[in-house]
Chains A and B, each alone.
Chain A
Amino acid sequence: MWQKTRPYLLLLPAIGTIVLLFFGGLFDGLLKSLGYFPAIGETRFEMTAYTNLFQSSEFWESLILTIRVAALSSIFAAVLGAAIAVSLFMLKESSKSGASQVWHRLFQLPLTIPHLVGGYIIVLLFMQSGFLSKILASAGLIDEITDFPVLVNDPFGWGIILTYAWKEAPFVSLMIYPVLSRIHRSWRDVARVYGAGSWNFIREIVLPVMLPAWTIATFIVFVFTFSAFEVPFLLGVTYPSMLPVYSYQLYTSGTLADRPEALAVNIILAALTILLGLVVYYFSKRWNVLKGWD
């Protein structure tokens, strides 16, 4: 009996912490979003916060902006990350020198930089009085630095998208690259003998191999950018703001009455993330992406 329960008892402190902090927090948020707020004397359950949110244009604009920014960031990071991983893989296949290792390390550099610093780098590079606009103005490509497009603190969210694309692409490549190492060195020879050029080899062999890891990495990036706070707070505009910023604005508005709405935003974010996870899982099963590998 003791032997059987021992592993579970040993795991209890870690599991307890996770349940308390993660699920406890989520559960507390859910209760408060439903109006259960004993601190202000509210002990009934009602959907007012959700109804108010769904009726507010501010929420919908925030949601659209959040989806747009998360989707574009994920797509850019996924494409860029895959391009980096495939290039590194092809470089490693074709060269016997250590050049591919140097490039590999170089592409991993953004991983070591915190998101906030990444955000500041984008500000310094892409704002109208930034480095890039000054270079373009000095080169005579634009007349004034104000001719440079507004890419930072813009309503579309380009600054946020650029930051995440730059910051998450190495993460995507880091997820894909080890998977590519499963590709047998001789498969390239096989494919070539049977008429596949480089592009066909990538399309027929490399892409299917990396698809599961690529899908998962892109999903992680999407979920992260969907619920990330600091970069949208730094590089976004006051209105419309991304959902996490909108939630923060509501939470810190000065009135406790807004808090259920702020927490309802968080619950909606979590629900959408779970929903998206299920969709990705369904498609990855349907595409049969893992069949034959194990």
Chain B
Amino acid sequence: MSDLRIINIEKQYPQTKQQKDPAFSLQPVALTIKEGEFFSLLGPSGCGKTTLLKLIAGLIPADNGEIWVGDDHLTAVAPEARRFAMVFQQSLLFPHMTVEDNVAFGLKMQKISKRERLADAQSMLEHVGLGGYGSRFPDELSGGQQQRVALARALVAKPRLLLMDEPFSALDPSLREEMRELLRSVQKEFHVTVLFVTHDREEAFYLSDRIGVMSEGRLLQIGKPKEIYEQPVNVEVASFLGLKNIIRGTVANNHFISNDQSFEFPIQSSIQTSQSVLIIRPETIRPVSENMVEILGCVYFKGVIHHKIFSHGYYSVKVRIGEHLLICNFTSQEAEKMNPEQPIDLMINSEDMRFVNG
């Protein structure tokens, strides 16, 4: 198996005289990406995603740690000998070469005959929907088409690993969706291992088999998209994933009490006393109707509706409970008769509550 193994790789940038803030450092990262897997590194700008990507590509030297692909130790191998491919934020096509020559560039470097490499390039251009564009120059293509060429250039060389550094961030939303679809299908077709860097949650969740969430040079959590969304390991991960219902409190005697005491309910004995932050996903909160029978294992709250906003086929309703504004996602049917300042009863299945360390 040609899994990519990253063993405690780290990088410390030197402090410059001009900068007052401490220099950036990438804390040791340990990660294994399986052959054929689509792995995303998700995190805000400046968190070290691109640094990690460039360390793996060999474009910047690591201070410590090792990189392996299968049985090949690549830490000291030059980037040109790693047989990786990379797609950048910008297409970075060579303007003096035709589209075909750009795509065939990697094969030319591998000393594949001209006839063979041009045939491969044409076939790959067909795969990315640009058959017949081979003789054009990059400046004759749109931004989306240029990025398709960059993808074709990366795939045609049959890389052991495809590195992608926010490749769709410069495209407009509809093109991004189109490119996502394309990437997803070609990745499955060619069974290529992908390490994808993005700050776009939607993109990462749509494309990835697994996601690694990064912040300030640290890899905070690795897991399947559903896993990290439903079970974030800490407040940082939850916040970055867009979870806003974060309630601080204390856990004692199998009870959770929020700091403002507006939330108080019994919890499972397995939850440790140190885990004193409650995270509630907005879609797990349901309004309680008048005739509803109380369900065992559910926690009930009373609140007052603050306001409601329609968003992409559902209503985002903010409910005031004590000092907290709880965000709830309700269907149009559920939210139909809700109005600001109206009292509301809410319920949450206790299994949908997530407790993490404060």
Contact = CB atoms under 8 A, between A and B. Distances in A.
Interface stretch (A58-66, A153-161, A202-210, A247-255): A202-210
B86 A190 contact: yes
Contacts of A193: 57, 59, 79-80, 82, 84-86, 163
B106 A194 contact: yes
Given A190-B92, A205-B94, A291-B96, 14 more contacts: A184-B92, A189-B79, A192-B78, A192-B80, A193-B80, A193-B84, A194-B106, A195-B83, A195-B110, A196-B109, A197-B80, A204-B108, A291-B137, A292-B139
Interface residues of A, number: 22
A291 B98 CA distance: 9
Contacts of B80: 192-197
A211 B154 CA distance: 27
B110 A293 contact: no
B96 A192 contact: no
B90 interface: yes
A180 B81 CA distance: 26
Contact of B105 (A186, A194, A197, A292): A194
B92 A292 contact: no
A184 B88 CA distance: 13
Contacts of A196: 80, 105, 109
A293 B82 CA distance: 31
B17 to A, nearest CB: 13
The 9 closest A-B pairs by CB, nearest first: A195-B109, A292-B137, A194-B106, A292-B95, A192-B79, A193-B86, A208-B96, A195-B80, A292-B96
Interface in B108-130: 108-110
B327 to A, nearest CB: 40
A195 B57 CA distance: 11
Q: Is the interface of A mostly helix, strand, loop or mixed?
A: helix
Contacts of B57: 189, 193
B99 to A, nearest CB: 10
Nearest to A183: B94
Interface string B141-168: 0000000000001000100000100000
B138 interface: yes
A200 B80 CA distance: 11
Q: Which of B80, B90, B108, B163 has the largest count of A CB atoms less than 10 A from its CB?
A: B80
Interface in A235-294: 289, 291-294
Nearest to A194: B106
A2 to B, nearest CB: 41
A191 B139 CA distance: 19
